[in-house]
Amino acid sequence: MCHHSKSKIHHPTSSLFLLFPGSSHTHHAPLKQYADRANVCYLGLTPKHSGIDRHAANRHLLPMSFFVTATDTGVGKTHVTRLLLQALRRVGINAAGYKPVACGDRDDGRILAAASGNLPLDTVNPLHLKSPVSPYVASLLENQVVNPEVLLEGFRRLAAVHPVVFVEGVGGWEVPLTATYRMSDLAKDLGLPVLLVAANRLGVLNHILLTLAAIRSKGLTCAGIFLNQLDDQLDTAMITNVSVVRDLAGVPLLEHLIYQQDFLDAQVVRSLACGGTLPLAASHEPPFPIPTATC
């Protein structure tokens, strides 16, 4: 386990700071505190801009968790989240996945529970709706109530014992949970940096830019993009999307996953484990264990 207190992530438009906690303390802080310290730790805000004392934040490090969203359903959120969990746990970081809502089957929750060290399924996925539709529609069909506070409390419990929690949304950014509460509202209430997963195909540039704008409209920051290859056949759009996303998105392209890629680039693993410099585009070097002495 690395015990770095601070490292810089270089990005063409900003200098971002990332803190990885080395504390073994159990945290019971309100979500607002998670959000405030995540902003100081990750989003490049300084005490002058945030109004938060960085030294105080450093003395009480909270989990550096992330909200994983996507441009659409079926583009690889669970696949990417599983790879993130496995990569971090491989180097000794006690990371956990959280799927607050699942509709249809619970396969995503089972995958995350297994990748989180075989946590109980109900801990990882507290709300299961059987209908394979949006949570709002499923709740109407099944006469169930979706209570956002239950979903938030599930995150608090996991974050109290796991220094890193990846919260995987359902579908895309604006999927309705209730008539008045969307997945984006849950992300805002959690206040976490966002990781965006997108399928590399024609139209993804529009989908990425629209989703990034929607994330910013909630006062949140996208920490990076995973561009996922769903097909082994490449066309002109797929080939050019990588460089265009890098040029236009304004956030790091953390990884371009080739078709059926089952590992994360070693640089991304090292960055998440030790707080190194995140690459703007990934090569495809297989991951390897990182001795703590080298962090």
Domain boundaries, the chain: 62-280
Reading the block at residue 271, the tokens are: 């960055």
Which CATH superfamily is 62-280 part of? P-loop containing nucleotide triphosphate hydrolases (3.40.50.300)
Q: Reduced to 3 DSSP states, what percent helix, strand and coil does the chain have, rounded to the nearest 5?
A: 40, 15, 45
Q: What is the pLDDT of residue 190?
A: 97
Which of 32, 77, 99, 130 is the catalytic position? 99
Residue 10's identity, in one-letter code, is H
Q: How does pLDDT run across 252-289, given as a tens digit for each residue?
A: 999 999 999 999 887 776 665 543 333 333 333 333 33
Average pLDDT of the segment spanning 188-217: 97
Specify burial of residue 255 (Cβ count, 10 A radius: 0-12, 13-18, 19+).
buried
Active site residue 99: yes
Q: What is the pLDDT of residue 64?
A: 78
Q: How does pLDDT run across 70-103, given as a tens digit for each residue?
A: 999 999 999 999 999 999 998 888 999 999 999 9
Q: How many residues belong to the chain?
A: 295
